[in-house]
Structure 1
Amino acid sequence: MARKPVTTGFAPPALIINLDRDIVRWRSLSGALGGLGIAYQKVRAVDARTKINLIRRIVHREFVYPSENRNLTDAEIGCYLSHISALKRVVRQNLPAAMIFEDDVVFDSQFRQFYQNDLPKFLAVSDIVKFEGIHYPHTSKSGFLIAQGVTSELVIRVKPTLGAAAYAVTKEGAIALLKAFSVADRPFDHKLAYYDRHWIDYAETEPFLARQADYTSNLEHERKVFDLDVDASRRLRRLQNKLKAPSRAALRFAYIAKFLIKRRLRTPRRESLA
């Protein structure tokens, strides 16, 4: 069950997903990371406004979101493919680990300490560490403790948060995610958070050390079309989701049990590498 741990002393670089036209966001986030002394690289985001026709010619399938009975929007497709590009860079550059940011992130005052002290420890026990998230009324506010840090705890929430604006991933995690995410059939943050589907070691920090800034989301103008859809078919899907909730919960508890067992079987030596 052991996997190769993150190298001692390795400082994960930041990969910033940024549209070329979003200059203000790039300057803001790159400046913040520079001020923290964190190395960063730009990952050019896939701009759906100019690339969607090319994408549809290359990818010979529909981008369908089955559980919502709709197609992904152009912006959701661009966002999904942008995260895939970032994950591929982790693998191609043979990075032991990296942080992946959307360009609308701001940091907590304790982020430097989190980055230096807690993140290496957390990456030693989980291939995905999400330190930003969007809470909803149904979201778990706490979870099963995986690791204790100076600034935060690493937990597995039974009902994880959404959002994919700030997370870290090991190379092994990136490889596994690329395989599991080969088909874009739901928004990227849904696929990342629903660990019971991809079955890759996934955990979140409590509290979060990053959050989305008050920029208008590049997805928002399209997302509202679906958020305002309250027809009978949408109500039926919500009822179906409620009926499936017990089976999903059972699968998540099985995943959590697997994670906790692996955690106990890991050797003290692995812990010391963090």
Structure 2
Amino acid sequence: MRIDFFVINLDRSPERLADIRADMAAAGIDLIRVAGVDGKAIPEAERDLLDTPRFQRRHGKRPAAGEYGCYLSHLKAIEAVAAGAAEAGVVFEDDVRPRPEMLAVLQALASRDDWDVVRFAHHRRPSRRRLRVLPEGRTLAASFHGPTGSAAAYIVRRTAAQRLAEALKPMSLPFDVAIERGWDTKLRTFDIWDDLVAFSQRSKTSQIEVGGRYGSRKLKPWRRLPTLVFRASELVRRIAYAFAAERAR
């Protein structure tokens, strides 16, 4: 399977692009740059893809400009995969570094048609159901709990990419939460454990939030009751989805 590799990068972050290009080139990977969307440059009144009331009900916070830009950036990358000639595309954020075994594991993953979207960078490690053994001690798995955090690295089949992009519209959750929801997108969405990338030093400097402002966007406790209901429902759906996923034979 031919796989193209894309990196999302803001115009104001050339140093991040230089770092990830060097790291990927050392691993034999040529990156295709996707110009990131700077959400701070888009006035609130023009954020047409954002369903603010639904976002607040589901996430319990007011959306940040950077979250909106991140979401649009990933949609651009997924649509680039859909428009490409390769059978699949990997999308990176520009603050990751490849582990030496990444390419071998991805090629083994690609050898079977039992997935549409697979994430391989995470911030949390939930319990999970193993679906297939991969090389270098890795497994393809479905998580029982989540969100597991991070959309910093994932692979999408070209045949599924446009369907994924459409299923993620409008924005009603942060992108890293939305992409995990295979039960909602109707795509075979799983994870590779352990991660195939590491986070670089630049990942400690968020381009979405600065300082303590993230917590300040939380809604009042009584306004977050719909969020609790949504999260309880998501847990049930996630567990059912993991149990329903077919193991590779």
Partner residue, 2:198: 211
Partner residue, 1:164: 151
Partner residue, 1:4: none
Structure 2 matches for 1:235-250, cutoff 5 A?
Answer: 237=224, 241-242=227-228, 247-250=233-236
Alpha-carbon separation, structure 2, partners of 1:164 and 1:179: 17
Please give the per-residue CA displacement for 1:21-54, whole angstroms capped at 9, x wherever unaligned.
Answer: 111110111111111112320000012233x13x
Equivalent residue pairs, number: 243
Partner residue, 2:75: 84
Cα gap change, 1:40 to 1:198, in 2 (>3 Å): same
Partner residue, 1:7: none
Alpha-carbon separation, structure 1, partners of 2:180 and 2:49: 27
Cα gap change, 1:186 to 1:86, in 2 (>3 Å): same
Moved runs in structure 1, 4+ residues, more than 6 A? none
* Corresponding residue SS for 1:221: coil
Partner residue, 1:271: none
The offset of 1:229, in angstroms, is 5.7
Q: Is residue 256 of structure 1 aligned with residue 242 of structure 2? A: yes
Q: Is residue 200 of structure 1 aligned with residue 190 of structure 2? A: no
> Which amino acid letter does the alignment assign opposite residue 159 of structure 2?
E
Q: Is the 8 A contact 2:61 2:218 kept in 1?
A: no
2:129 to 136, 140, 144: 144
Q: Is the 8 A contact 1:165 1:211 kept in 2?
A: no
Cα gap change, 1:168 to 1:21, in 2 (>3 Å): same
Q: Which runs of 5+ in 2 are unaligned?
A: none
Q: Is the 8 A contact 2:27 2:100 kept in 1?
A: no
Please give the per-residue CA displacement for 1:161-188, whole angstroms capped at 9, x wherever unaligned.
Answer: 1110000000122122112112012211
Cα gap change, 1:230 to 1:11, in 2 (>3 Å): closer
The offset of 1:121, in angstroms, is 3.3
Alpha-carbon separation, structure 2, partners of 1:241 and 1:67: 5
Q: Is the 8 A contact 1:16 1:103 kept in 2?
A: yes
Alpha-carbon separation, structure 2, partners of 1:83 and 1:246: 27
Q: Is the 8 A contact 2:96 2:198 kept in 1?
A: yes
Please give the per-residue CA displacement for 1:5-30, whole angstroms capped at 9, x wherever unaligned.
Answer: xxxxx231111000111111101111
* Mean Cα deviation higher: 25-34 or 68-77: 68-77
2:215 to 227, 235, 243: 227
> Which amino acid letter does the alignment assign opposite residue 12 of structure 2?
R
* Corresponding residue SS for 1:251: helix
Please give the per-residue CA displacement for 1:119-157, whole angstroms capped at 9, x wherever unaligned.
Answer: 3236x311111110111xxx51x4111111112100000
Cα gap change, 1:56 to 1:201, in 2 (>3 Å): same
Alpha-carbon separation, structure 1, partners of 2:170 and 2:245: 25
* Corresponding residue SS for 2:156: strand
* Corresponding residue SS for 2:111: helix
Q: Is the 8 A contact 1:162 1:189 kept in 2?
A: yes
* Corresponding residue SS for 1:13: strand
Please give the per-residue CA displacement for 1:219-246, whole angstroms capped at 9, x wherever unaligned.
Answer: 1217x32324677x23762x65555655
1:121 to 99, 108, 111: 111
Cα RMSD of the aligned pairs, angstroms, is 2.6
Q: Is residue 25 of structure 1 aligned with residue 11 of structure 2? A: no
Q: Greater CA radius of gyration, 1 or 2?
A: 1
Cα gap change, 1:258 to 1:101, in 2 (>3 Å): same
Q: Is the 8 A contact 2:117 2:190 kept in 1?
A: yes
Please give the per-residue CA displacement for 1:41-98, whole angstroms capped at 9, x wherever unaligned.
Answer: 0000012233x13x84472865441323443211111110000001111111243100
Alpha-carbon separation, structure 2, partners of 1:22 and 1:186: 25
Q: Is residue 176 of structure 1 aligned with residue 163 of structure 2? A: yes
Cα gap change, 1:13 to 1:244, in 2 (>3 Å): closer
